[in-house]
Chains A and B, each alone.
Chain A
Amino acid sequence: MAFLWSLAALIPLDNYGHYIHWGVIDISVANFIVVVLMVLAFLAALFLPFPGRNRRKESR
């Protein structure tokens, strides 16, 4: 449990949020991280091999 608390301390939640300002784009760092993770998940889904894919192709 103490380990979890020390992990939580890495991300201070009692301060003002951090924002990225880029022209008309104004996004919180938290939301930006989620968008980056979604893009990474999308790319990983496209390029990572799916288990059993070759076996299915052979039996096709």
Chain B
Amino acid sequence: MSTAEIEKQWTTRLRKRAHGHLPPEKLLPDTQPAYVSSWIYVFGVTTIAALVMVILSGIILALRGPQWWHSSSVGHFVNSTHLWSVEIFFFAMIVHLWGKFFMAAWRGGRSLTWVTGVVTFLTSVGTAFTGYVSQTNFDSQWISTQAKDGINATGVGSIFNVLNLGQMLMWHIVLLPLAAVILTAVHVLLVRVKGVVPPFEETNGASK
């Protein structure tokens, strides 16, 4: 195969493009700008850490099943770990959102980073909701019967039936977590491509 032919291959073009946008030193940098030394920048990575715990505890719950998480002490513990990881996930994500909103973090061509963050947040709300209706207890029965009228009023009730436990469980453990993890990965990659948004005075050239 000639060099020209190799250059035309989609694998070659994709690799060169990926390397151009995100060289290894940019993907895993050794240092960060001085302005990142603030607690407000900690909440993004706290959200990711909580997401890892959510996924790991969710995998254990999926392996053992509802009978286990309702009736055994270890099952209760893993179930509670799953719940509290979600609580920390949303807590950290909201503070991260406030921080980025007041920084106007979409500046400097970072609009796609902001948008993927927003979509990840909305996907996470859906993931949490389907989790609450998949608990297989009185709480989940109450939530699903209360939610069905609201969902039906939006018109999606015919394809998204909150009273259908099997469907809700599949959304909760397959479709929505997959979407949330992929969106989070894209979001983080975009942060690496564009860099962390600088403070306003840095943008205006008035930094100390």
Interface size on A, residues (CB 8 A): 15
Question: A52 to nearest B CB, angstroms?
Answer: 7
Interface flag for B58 (CB, 8 Å): no
Q: Categorize the interface residue count of chain B.
A: 10 to 19
Counting residue pairs across A and B whose Cβ atoms lie within 8 Å, the total is: 38
B91 touching A38, Cβ below 8 Å: yes
Identify which of A37, A48, A57, A60 contacts B39 (C-beta below 8 A). Answer: A48
Interface flag for A10 (CB, 8 Å): no
A50 touching B37, Cβ below 8 Å: yes
Task: List residues 1-55 of chain A with CB under 8 A from any CB of chain B.
Answer: 34, 37-38, 41-42, 44-46, 48, 50, 52-53
- Residue on B nearest A54 in the bound complex, by CB: B37
Question: A49 to nearest B CB, angstroms?
Answer: 9
Give Cα A60–Cα B34 distance, bound, in whole angstroms. Answer: 7
A34 touching B91, Cβ below 8 Å: yes
Known: A42-B99, A45-B43. A50 touches B38 (CB 8 A): yes
Task: List residues 88-119 of chain B with CB under 8 A from any CB of chain A.
Answer: 91, 94-95, 98-99
Give Cα A42–Cα B34 distance, bound, in whole angstroms. Answer: 20
Interface flag for B122 (CB, 8 Å): no
Give Cα A47–Cα B82 distance, bound, in whole angstroms. Answer: 31
Interface flag for B56 (CB, 8 Å): no
Q: Is the contact region of chain A dominated by helix, strand, or loop, or is it mixed?
A: helix
Cβ contacts under 8 Å, A38 to chain B = 91, 94-95, 98
The interface bits of chain B over 65-105 (1 if a CB of A lies within 8 angstroms of the residue's CB, else 0) are 00000000000000000000001000100110011000000
Cβ contacts under 8 Å, A48 to chain B = 39
Known: A41-B91, A45-B42, A45-B43. A57 touches B98 (CB 8 A): no
Q: In this complex, which of B37, B43, B87 has the most chain A Cβ atoms within 10 angstroms of its Cβ?
A: B37
Give Cα A34–Cα B42 distance, bound, in whole angstroms. Answer: 19
Q: What are 28 of the A-B contact pairs (CB < 8 Å)? A: A34-B91, A37-B91, A38-B91, A38-B94, A38-B95, A38-B98, A41-B43, A41-B91, A42-B40, A42-B95, A42-B98, A42-B99, A44-B39, A45-B39, A45-B95, A45-B99, A46-B38, A46-B39, A46-B40, A48-B39, A50-B37, A50-B38, A52-B37, A53-B38, A56-B34, A56-B37, A57-B34, A60-B34
